[in-house]
Every structure is written in structure tokens, then in C-alpha cells.
Amino acid sequence: MNWGKVAAASITLAAIAAGGGMWYAQEYGYYDSIDPAGPDARIAVTTPAGRRDLTLTDFQGIDADSSPLRWRACAVTGDLPADALPFDDPTPLIAPGWFDCFDAQQIGADLESGAARAVLSVAEIRPDVDRVLAVYPDGRIFGWHQYNDKTPERGVMD
């Protein structure tokens, strides 16, 4: 028996197992579905007069405690205020593959082409994080959390 081959096979199998575990944790492990009837399923928009809750149908959402950026939502609304504050430089973040209502690449392309517009849902939903919505003319909305640039550059000792 060649112990070098055994060691190489052991290392390879350990790397495959670790990679598989990492993939599972990122794709499934931390995410929880949001109850459509629960308080976390409320989505608001910010207007010059303040924040206004939207009436939603077909809500689907996910979130995780492991990061403030893991929140994603898809819904339909019929009461988006015309004066909802626009959001500059929206960047939809990729959702897990199993959350198939949210296609970040398509949403990003639609925002760039003008087929959808980005509005501010809630500023500072968590420190340095805003909730952003992509809104389509037919009432579809897609939401995500995005870091904002409201805080000045910080040094490594902060």
C-alpha cells in the first residue's frame, strides 16, 4: 500500500467535503423564508412626507441573521406612491438559486434600461444598510438590502 496515495486521497476528500459544506451553508443553511402574513413581510417606501407601508400580494421573502444583506423579497403592489424617493446606484444582489422569483441580473438590466426604477424603501434599516426596491410599471416589486455610502471612509483602527 502506498501511504502517499492514501494521504493525497484523504486531503482531496476532505477538501471536497469542506467545499460541499461551504456551498450548502451559503445556499441553504442560513436562509429562512419570511412568513407572508408576518410582520417581516411588510414593505414600505420613503416619500418626502415620510415612510408609507405598501399593500402587497404574492409576497415571497427570505432573510438570515448571519448578514444584513441577505434579505430579498418579491411582491406585487397596486399602491406605490408616485413621489417615492429614487435610489441612486442600485445594485441588486444575487439570491440563492432556489429563490427563483428574484433574478438579480435581470433586475439590474431592467434598472439600467429604464424598464424598472429604483426607490428607497427604508434608509438605515441596519447601520450603513438601506432597503432598496426595484419597481416595475405593472406593480411588481423586488427588494434587497444594499450598503450605503453615508459613512465616511474609516481607518483600520475604528
Closest Cα to residue 83, out of 47, 54, 52?
Answer: 47
Tens digits of pLDDT across the chain (158 residues): 688 888 888 899 888 888 887 777 766 677 888 888 887 778 999 999 999 999 999 999 998 888 888 899 999 998 889 899 999 999 999 988 899 999 999 999 999 999 999 999 999 988 889 999 999 999 999 999 999 876 566 555 55
Q: Is 41 left (phi over 0), alpha (psi -120 to 50) or beta?
A: alpha
Over the range 5-21, which residues count as b (16 or more CB within 10 Å of their CB) and which as e? Answer: eeeeeeeeeeeeeeeee
Say if pTM beats, i.e. exceeds, 0.75: yes
Over the range 81-93, which residues count as b (16 or more CB within 10 Å of their CB) and which as e? Answer: eeebeebeebebb
